[in-house]
Structure 1
Amino acid sequence: MTELLRRVAPVADELGARFAAAGHELALVGGPVRDALLRRAGKDVDLTTDAPPQKVLEIINGWADNVWTIGIEFGTVGLRKNGHELEITTYRSESYDPKSRKPEVSYGTSLVEDLRRRDFAVNAMAARLPGYEFVDPFGGLTDLQRKVLRTPGRPEDSFSDDPLRMMRAARFASQLGFTVAPDVVEAMTNMAGRIEIVSAERVREELSKLVCGAYPREGLALLVDTGLAAHVLPELPKLRLEIDEHHRHKDVYEHSLIVLEQAIAQEENGPDLVLRLAALLHDIGKPKTRRFEAGGRVSFHHHEVVGAKMTRKRLTELRYPKDVINEVSRLVELHLRFHGYGTGEWTDSAVRRYVRDAGPLLSRLHKLTRADCTTRNKRKADRLRRTYDDLEARIDRLAEEEELASIRPEIDGNEIQAILGIKPGPIVGKAYKFLLELRLDRGPIGKETAAEELRRWGVEQGLLSSAEPGADGPAEPAEPTGSSVQHEGEEAES
């Protein structure tokens, strides 16, 4: 065990000797100890001490390569030594005032009491330095072996000290695949409303870690079952639509969790937060758009548009970065677009628009669309897979022929002004949009033909008195839409 703990940060033992020489305690604590015992790689090196922050600064002065004090008001000093980053926090306890979003911090003098105030027993283990003497007063090692999450003391006291710990329980269930002790689940259920006192930013960080965990279904189910999701992600439990004997349709909540798992199975470079959030939220517009149709059918017309707006609102309230909000919302909006493709009737024009609308999200849209097929009918699933294979092949062919990723008209803004005899202004933008739509409809047509079409358009707009002769191209079918009663990947099930 000592050798496992020593691997976390070889410099920690040397630092422990400095603290001992100064008459103070130092211990490796929390996540690094847990992860070392689980033989999981961890980035954090967390240490705890009885020395107050100013004394910590004195002890590490001249030893650390770099020091930062951004968290000193909460008793934390950070340092770097030989490429290792460590954080040292003075023994403490935290508690929330019922009306405050910020924890009140007070310092302690005992390692065991510091461990008692931590979130879970598996995070309440320590190794005294120097020497790595193992300290486990609350049975964390046993819990690791049993893969269970318990609190060191009463869960009600732990969650009262910091309500965010309820979210952490769900996050650790996702990251570690652990079950949560019944008394902890009961306390989470009874105290779910207390999560509202925690800032949106802290909730967002826990939710992101949960969604990007190895077992997100377990964590999300815990949020829903305890009522926490009703406060932090209320759209999720609302997916549990009632299904009566006359109007049968797939459980949207269960479908969304399956889509999430199927999206994860396609990831290539580790967890993709944008893809996972889009998979989880892609159908949140269904409860608002559900309609019962003749013959016992159920429709969710335009749920992708409604869902995109709901996604944007929820992620904004959770203080996600703008790029994440925009990308997830756009994927939700586009997730049904493929299902207008039918069995291959899309024109090249529609394929170009599919690529243009997805933009840099095309790879993620491919994954989300494939994940959204959860039918148990193998023939339907195979047909959908083959159809999407064909679409991707057509995209690749057109991309090679036409440089789809950078579609633009053959005529630029300066040439538009010269042909139409106009100055810079809104009309140039309208003309450019006309030419872009023409490019999407007909593919590469060359500068001469594009100029002819632009002159024809100029006459129609009253900008020119006459236009060069040119043949109108045949009109192509309108782009297919994705809204439908229920696409093949979501067929009614009994």
Structure 2
Amino acid sequence: MEDGKKDESPASAAQVLLNRLDDYLSGREIEAYVVGGYVRDRLLSRLPADIDIAVKANAREIASGVAEDFRGTFVLLDEKNDIARVVLNDGNSADVIDFSSFTGSIKADLLRRDFTIDALAVPLKAVREGFGLSDVIDPTGGRKDIENSIIRAVEERVFLLDAVRLLRAVRLAGEFGFTIEPGTEELIREYGHLIFDVPGERIREELLRLTALPHAGQMFRRLDRLGLLTGIFPELEDSRGVEQPGEHYWDVLEHSLAAVEALECILGEGDWVHTSGEVLDHVPLSDVIRQHLAAVISGGSTRKSLLKIAALLHDIGKPSTKAFDETGRMRFLGHSREGAGLVAGMLERLRFSSKEIKVIETAVNHHMRPMQLSQEGMPTNRAIYRYFRDTGETGLDILFLNLADHLAARGPELDIDGWKEHNTLVEYVINKRFEKEDIINPPGIINGYDIMKSLGLEPGPKIGELLEAVREAQVSGEIQDREEALSFVKRVIAAGELPARENDIN
């Protein structure tokens, strides 16, 4: 946008909404400004994601009136600081407008904000008319910092006043490809300990915004360099410097960070600089998988964003399970199960939803399973059935976490033939998942009542175990109909034991 020139871009849904807001507020003679992200994004020629309105009035009352007049939903965000939200949902998408109040001048209000690139405002009336640079109120040099791609704190107390800004600085730098200027980096290091005092739900929100972006792995590394990563996840500190067997190139923490970068490479969101470009040629990533990973799990999270967190935490159980066997070989027996338990507690602390925790916990618990499906050749139908029985829809996510784990374990010493074989196995399992529904969900040919009536058994857990044995026999082709199923159950009972369920390789 050049000085003196108006923004002539086509009216978007956001512009129409801002015009309506101008009608509503100007009709009530309320001084109002569009502030922060909307102005920044327009200056960057990006599609604005946020609409923040500063009003010289009671923001709660204004937001409540807008919600009623626009048929939206009113949400009180911060009663003490008079911040409220209006959510407008048309059935297809939702627009979110945040309202805050100021009592002095708008310049004074901007000087209380976090970073110069967000300490910008434009009168709402000017936005309606298509604002130019001369309309931008910029008391901190935000426009110049946008031009120079710099994240700069407005003042020294920025992080002291709100410590979640520590994470936001890193996320904004990653989102826009900006550099955090040295003085602001020093402030982050100085006040980094305050991250422990940030409410879990606010950290969760920033984490999900960060992992929704490409290059989240690089942002995790920056958080670690600044001392913030283990402020969010203190349990990760135990992974630092923990050596691994020879097939691993890095220690546990470096491997965990590399796993996020490897995952993003596999999903087409970043580069894997440690090996040749041939790596991506073998990954079975399809539009169906992309759609699956884009599925929303809970407010603000998708399968892909949660999978990145799972990649970061997948080996969190290794430090506490590290041991040496009688031959002196280093082992981490049970680290997946141990890690799943740790992860559940960590994410509860950060107020992740039960659905989100279940996805990540399942991924961590079973991240080794894909390579355990077969000792030689492709896995059997029974093994694939058991895998998806235990992992559900997250089984697809885990396949790609497992590939990322492989890539991050070998690093620059990757054996391309072994990598090809691994991808071939993953592709085989994916194809079975989508092309052989009778393997994943075998049709019911008998039920518990059939077993009890035919064999004179009483209700109890054993009935469920027998039905599960029948399903496994179905997918392996041993039985086809009700009569064969009942005969199978009789043989199982006569033998005195059920087929083992713990062994995935059969």
TM-score, normalised via structure 2 length: 0.77
Q: Which has the larger radius of gyration?
A: 1
Q: Name the CA distance, whole Å, in 2 between partners of 1:254 and 1:10.
A: 48
Deviation readout 1:243-269 (Å, 9 max, x if unpaired): 599998523323223322332344424
2:107 equivalent to 1:75: no
Structure 1 segment 29-108 matched on structure 2, within 5 A: 29-53=35-59, 56=62, 64-66=69-71, 68-71=73-76, 73=79, 74-76=81-83, 78=85, 85=95, 87=97, 89-92=99-102, 108=103
Structure 1 segment 231-246 matched on structure 2, within 5 A: 231-243=231-243
Aligned partner of 1:490 in structure 2 is: none
- Select which of 85, 110, 113 maps to 2:105: 110
Letter matched to residue 369 of structure 2: R
Q: CA deviation at 1:208?
A: 1.4
SS of alignment partner, residue 324 of structure 1: helix
2:305 equivalent to 1:280: no
Q: CA deviation at 1:413?
A: 1.5
Deviation readout 1:299-321 (Å, 9 max, x if unpaired): 32222121111111111211111
Q: CA deviation at 1:336?
A: 0.9
User: In structure 2, do the counterparts of structure 1 residues 218 and 117 end up closer, same or farther at CA, with 3 Å as the change threshold?
Assistant: farther
2:33 equivalent to 1:27: yes
2:347 equivalent to 1:315: yes
Figure out how many residues of one structure are paired with residues of the other and give that number: 453
Question: Please, which moves more after superposition, 28-37 or 243-252?
Answer: 243-252
Gaps of 5+ in 1: 93-107, 463-471, 482-494
Q: Name the CA distance, whole Å, in 1 between partners of 2:105 and 2:201.
A: 31
Q: CA deviation at 1:334?
A: 1.3
State whether residues 72 and 88 of structure 2, in contact with CA within 8 Å, keep that contact through their aligned partners in structure 1. Answer: no
Deviation readout 1:449-490 (Å, 9 max, x if unpaired): 32112223444669xxxxxxxxx99x9995349xxxxxxxxx
User: In structure 2, do the counterparts of structure 1 residues 404 and 152 end up closer, same or farther at CA, with 3 Å as the change threshold?
Assistant: same
Question: Please, which moves more after superposition, 448-457 or 428-437?
Answer: 428-437
Q: Name the CA distance, whole Å, in 2 between partners of 1:434 and 1:55.
A: 62
Aligned partner of 2:274 in structure 1 is: none
Aligned partner of 1:411 in structure 2 is: 446
Q: Name the CA distance, whole Å, in 2 between partners of 1:18 and 1:408.
A: 59
- Select which of 397, 400, 406 maps to 1:367: 400
State whether residues 247 and 297 of structure 1, in contact with CA within 8 Å, keep that contact through their aligned partners in structure 2. Answer: no
Q: CA deviation at 1:111?
A: 0.6
Aligned partner of 2:124 in structure 1 is: 129
Question: Please, which moves more after superposition, 35-44 or 441-450?
Answer: 441-450
Structure 1 segment 160-179 matched on structure 2, within 5 A: 160-179=160-179
Q: CA deviation at 1:227?
A: 2.3
Aligned partner of 2:386 in structure 1 is: 353
Aligned partner of 1:151 in structure 2 is: 153
SS of alignment partner, residue 119 of structure 1: coil
Aligned partner of 2:299 in structure 1 is: none
Q: Name the CA distance, whole Å, in 2 between partners of 1:244 and 1:193.
A: 30
Structure 1 segment 393-404 matched on structure 2, within 5 A: 393=428, 396=431, 400=435, 403-404=438-439
Q: Name the CA distance, whole Å, in 2 between partners of 1:343 and 1:219.
A: 39
Question: Please, which moves more after superposition, 391-400 or 204-213?
Answer: 391-400
Q: Name the CA distance, whole Å, in 1 between partners of 2:248 and 2:477.
A: 43
Q: CA deviation at 1:120?
A: 0.8
Q: Name the CA distance, whole Å, in 1 between partners of 2:30 and 2:405.
A: 57
Q: CA deviation at 1:48?
A: 0.8
Letter matched to residue 146 of structure 2: L
Question: Please, which moves more after superposition, 169-178 or 64-73?
Answer: 64-73
State whether residues 247 and 298 of structure 1, in contact with CA within 8 Å, keep that contact through their aligned partners in structure 2. Answer: no
Question: Please, which moves more after superposition, 5-14 or 241-250?
Answer: 241-250
User: In structure 2, do the counterparts of structure 1 residues 346 and 192 end up closer, same or farther at CA, with 3 Å as the change threshold?
Assistant: same
Q: Name the CA distance, whole Å, in 1 between partners of 2:485 and 2:155.
A: 75
Q: Name the CA distance, whole Å, in 1 between partners of 2:106 and 2:489.
A: 78
SS of alignment partner, residue 135 of structure 1: coil
2:473 equivalent to 1:455: no
Structure 1 segment 429-444 matched on structure 2, within 5 A: 429-439=464-474, 443-444=478-479
Aligned partner of 2:424 in structure 1 is: 389
State whether residues 241 and 287 of structure 1, in contact with CA within 8 Å, keep that contact through their aligned partners in structure 2. Answer: no
Question: Please, which moves more after superposition, 438-447 or 191-200?
Answer: 438-447
